[in-house]
Chain A
């Protein structure tokens, strides 16, 4: 056990004695003992060692198999302890026992109050036996469809224990009557705990120890709990499984109105099956404590914590599992939503949960929150038995021991992290709810799958903690949920494809996974081509033109004139010089001399104001059609622009394309002069012009109005999207609209703009507009029927429904650029199934979930795919990429940056000799930079003649 920031470990050696009471079958709610008036009455057994090094000591020894009643829980005087044991067992065979044991110990500051309760829930084939042992005088157990145990001021409900299908224990510490002085209420909610056993192959748990880590950072608290579960399986050779319990965050606030929130997302995935998959998820523990109390004082409701443990077992032939969740004082295992009764048709399923909670004795912990320590012990022992025929005689004992210590110094109430994590907790819950309600009772498999996905999403968030992200995530959740529901309801081609793919996945995984609990997709079969492996592909002979340009670039100063050199060659030469930083004033003068039609410089950072003025003043711009002076921040402040351009009102009578990216000294005034002297402008690129405001957009719309076809406003940080919206609406013929990196772009902006102008839009660049959610994509898909290219890089809030909208709505998309999106493998595959035929350019850069489904769909449908970016898609194997390359006959460029898993097997084995693979070996990166093709017209989507 590792304890972080723990000052002192307070272990209490106590032996628990529990008298077992058995309640057989489902009984009507019997609130027998609701109040524990005197917790003091409990025997104060053994000594409590506050500083004992073994907090893990299994204070409760629960006989693993039939943990009924044999547990004795003594409670020490100074310690409040509650032990709750739920032992539920489903026995088809004798040996098969599943017991759910909750053992909870609670130690309060005030030693008077101790409660000892053991609940044993035993499930038999026929029914449910719940035996509860209460050391404490008053406890009430309600068994029936709903069972509530009311112990010392705690209400423990076991909701819906149905034949081991749903196990629901709820502890809603709505203060029971007998709250001892200074009793705090804690609500720990465990939304979902996924119990995942790492070693899936082994069905044995050995070793009883479970380990938990809690990490507490002051500002952010993350609780990471690693729980090792030991289980013993009667029939098997000893193999170990580990159970990872991952807890999200622990947050506590204390104040009068403060809330102690502890959000633990425990994720335990235990997939454990011999025959099939067994999955259990317990996700999320939220502990919320409200109210403040000084611990030394008797405040009943000083702290409330609710532990909600949600254990869901969705397993076909499930071997049970153990989830132990532990809260400070009270524990409730609850199924998240009572209303929806989820029945997992697990035939035999047992969960053994033992929770043993120990809380640090001293009241100082909670009250002052300085040096506050929680030590928790959870122990679970259980025997799980599978009633499913095969494993009937396997008993499964799980011991879960969880100890958490929280040592927080100072007060957490004010730390923003608290809020954040609260939000997260709420969000998780909401997500969970939305998905759960959506799913309904339909199919267990999908259900499992969904939770697994959610768990994965959360896992990544916890792995990379980002406040912003979480805060943002919280905002737009509800629309997401709605959106999700909608897409589910409407069976379009996308959802159909999605369903098919999921079914396929399930089938194949069922076939393959035999002993492993996790679904292992059927490997993609791809046979590398043999025989030609060592023969290098046909050598690419440099063209004479390239050779000449390279030599010219070397001897640029010797060039006397570029007269009669076609623009395409000029631009190539200019680009090469800029890329190699050899551009100089001499060549610039050559470009400007005479009456050029195109001046293209993609890097003007070398150009000074004086040089620019001197060279450009003499330039005859009457024929100039394309002016590209990128990175011109240095040479183009307003006054220079006014000097060189404002000489005559129509300085650029024929200018159609203007690109002034990075003009960081260009203001609205300068742009106004520029635009007024360029009456036929069709395309303007003002990316990274950080001084421009919405007034610039007004200028553009006033003078160019319906002429403008392309507008790039990437990273113009001063432009407020909403303020410029009225002007943007006037640019009604805009075809390319790029607002990458504009932070002010929100769903509302997109909605209003797209509804007004979306019908003409052919390309949208929304990269880094991080506020956008699925609702934006929905509007886009509905309105932009002509959309050809879409860039959704880094839009983390988009979910699979976005892809669904695109697939159903924008059927003309041929260029889709994704990066770091959270789309699932299945969703992208489904998109390819429906729209893959038209794609010519696809980027799945860093879409981490991309896997075999995408590969299969690509190979089947991406016939026209010309360029593909699979960088950082690290779950694609040689076989998958090989299949893609061999199947996509049009593929010319494949980017595989960061794909170190791709080996020579692919490189030498694929059969597409023309393909250019970038990123794997040392390749020239400059060639990858996208440059408009020299033969391409100045406008991407329409010719100049027709646009004028």
Chain B
């Protein structure tokens, strides 16, 4: 796995999640960040920082990215969301357009 294929997502607390670029592209917001023309830091380094998203939420979001790919490829499973995370997750998802 080369660096070009991965993206590093950094949570508010500074945790870093390195995931496939393909998975990260599920989010329209990240997709725009990474593909927008011009030399943004995100595009250059493949890093995106989310100062408003906590680590637990970002982890869940990363799980969703991979689940999304799985689902799209035909493996239909259920994505479980803990109720206590839901509200926050929803707002984060709204931000990320996922």
> Which residues of A does B touch, CB under 8 Å?
538-539, 541, 543-545, 547-549, 551-552, 554-555, 558-559, 564-566, 568-569
Contacts and interface: CB of A to CB of B under 8 A. Distances in A.
B87 A559 contact: yes
25 contacts: A538-B72, A539-B71, A539-B74, A539-B76, A541-B68, A541-B71, A541-B72, A543-B98, A544-B61, A544-B68, A544-B90, A545-B94, A545-B98, A548-B90, A548-B93, A549-B90, A551-B86, A552-B86, A554-B83, A564-B91, A565-B87, A565-B90, A566-B91, A568-B94, A569-B94
A558 B86 CA distance: 11
B81 interface: yes
Nearest to B71: A541
Contact of B91 (A547, A559, A569): A569
B90 A569 contact: yes
Contacts of B94: 545, 566, 568-569
Contacts of A544: 61, 64, 68, 89-90, 93, 96, 98
B83 A555 contact: yes
B10 to A, nearest CB: 19
Given A541-B72, A543-B93, A565-B90, 4 more contacts: A544-B64, A544-B93, A549-B90, A566-B91
Contacts of B87: 548, 552, 559, 565
Nearest to B61: A544
- Chain A to chain B: the 5 pairs with minimum beta-carbon distance, closest first: A548-B90, A544-B93, A545-B93, A544-B98, A541-B71
Contacts of B79: 547
B76 A558 contact: no
A934 to B, nearest CB: 10
A536 to B, nearest CB: 9
B26 to A, nearest CB: 8
Contacts of A559: 87
Contacts of B81: 547-548, 551
A545 B72 contact: no
A552 B90 contact: yes
B81 to A, nearest CB: 5
A559 B76 CA distance: 29
Contacts of A568: 94
Interface string B63-87: 0100010011010100101010011
Interface in B34-56: none
Contacts of B86: 548, 551-552, 555
A539 B90 contact: no
A370 B40 CA distance: 96
A325 to B, nearest CB: 68
A48 to B, nearest CB: 82
Interface of B: 61, 64, 68, 71-72, 74, 76, 79, 81, 83, 86-87, 89-91, 93-94, 96, 98
Given A538-B72, A544-B64, A545-B98, A558 B83 contact: yes
Most chain A Cβ neighbours within 10 Å, of B68, B90, B94: B90
Nearest to A553: B86
A552 B94 CA distance: 14
Nearest to B28: A543
Nearest to B76: A539
A559 B87 CA distance: 8
Given A548-B93, A566-B91, A539 B83 contact: no
Contacts of A541: 68, 71-72
A749 B81 CA distance: 57
Most chain B Cβ neighbours within 10 Å, of A548, A554, A568: A548
B96 to A, nearest CB: 8
B90 A545 contact: yes
A547 B76 CA distance: 14
Contacts of B91: 564-566, 569
A558 B68 CA distance: 27
B15 to A, nearest CB: 19
A196 B8 CA distance: 77
Contacts of A547: 64, 79, 81
A488 B75 CA distance: 61
Contacts of A565: 87, 90-91
A568 B91 CA distance: 11
A552 B93 CA distance: 14
A566 B74 CA distance: 33
B53 to A, nearest CB: 12
Nearest to B98: A544
Contacts of B93: 543-545, 548
Most chain A Cβ neighbours within 10 Å, of B76, B96, B98: B98
Nearest to B68: A541
B46 to A, nearest CB: 22
Contacts of A564: 91
Nearest to A545: B93
A914 to B, nearest CB: 15
Contacts of A552: 86-87, 90
Contacts of B74: 539
Nearest to B64: A544
B75 to A, nearest CB: 10
B72 A539 contact: yes
Contacts of A569: 90-91, 94
Contacts of B76: 539
A565 B89 CA distance: 11
A576 to B, nearest CB: 12
B83 to A, nearest CB: 5
B38 to A, nearest CB: 26
Nearest to A559: B87
Contacts of A554: 83
Contacts of B90: 544-545, 548-549, 552, 565, 569
Contacts of B98: 543-545
B3 to A, nearest CB: 26
A558 to B, nearest CB: 6
A21 to B, nearest CB: 88
A628 B91 CA distance: 23
Nearest to B96: A544
A558 B82 CA distance: 12
A862 B96 CA distance: 34
A555 B89 CA distance: 14
Nearest to B65: A544
Most chain A Cβ neighbours within 10 Å, of B61, B72, B74, B93: B93
Contacts of A555: 83, 86
A549 B74 CA distance: 23
Contacts of B83: 551, 554-555, 558
Nearest to B78: A547
Contacts of B64: 544, 547
A548 B91 CA distance: 9
A564 B89 CA distance: 13
A849 B20 CA distance: 55
B79 to A, nearest CB: 6
B94 to A, nearest CB: 6
Nearest to A565: B91
Contacts of A545: 90, 93-94, 98
Nearest to B27: A544
A541 B28 CA distance: 14
B8 to A, nearest CB: 20
Contacts of A558: 83
A559 B98 CA distance: 22
Nearest to A543: B98
A190 to B, nearest CB: 67
A548 B89 contact: yes
Contacts of A543: 93, 98
Contacts of A549: 90
A743 to B, nearest CB: 45
A566 B91 CA distance: 8
Contacts of B68: 541, 544
Contacts of A538: 72
Most chain B Cβ neighbours within 10 Å, of A547, A554, A555: A547
A554 B81 CA distance: 12
A901 to B, nearest CB: 32
A590 to B, nearest CB: 11
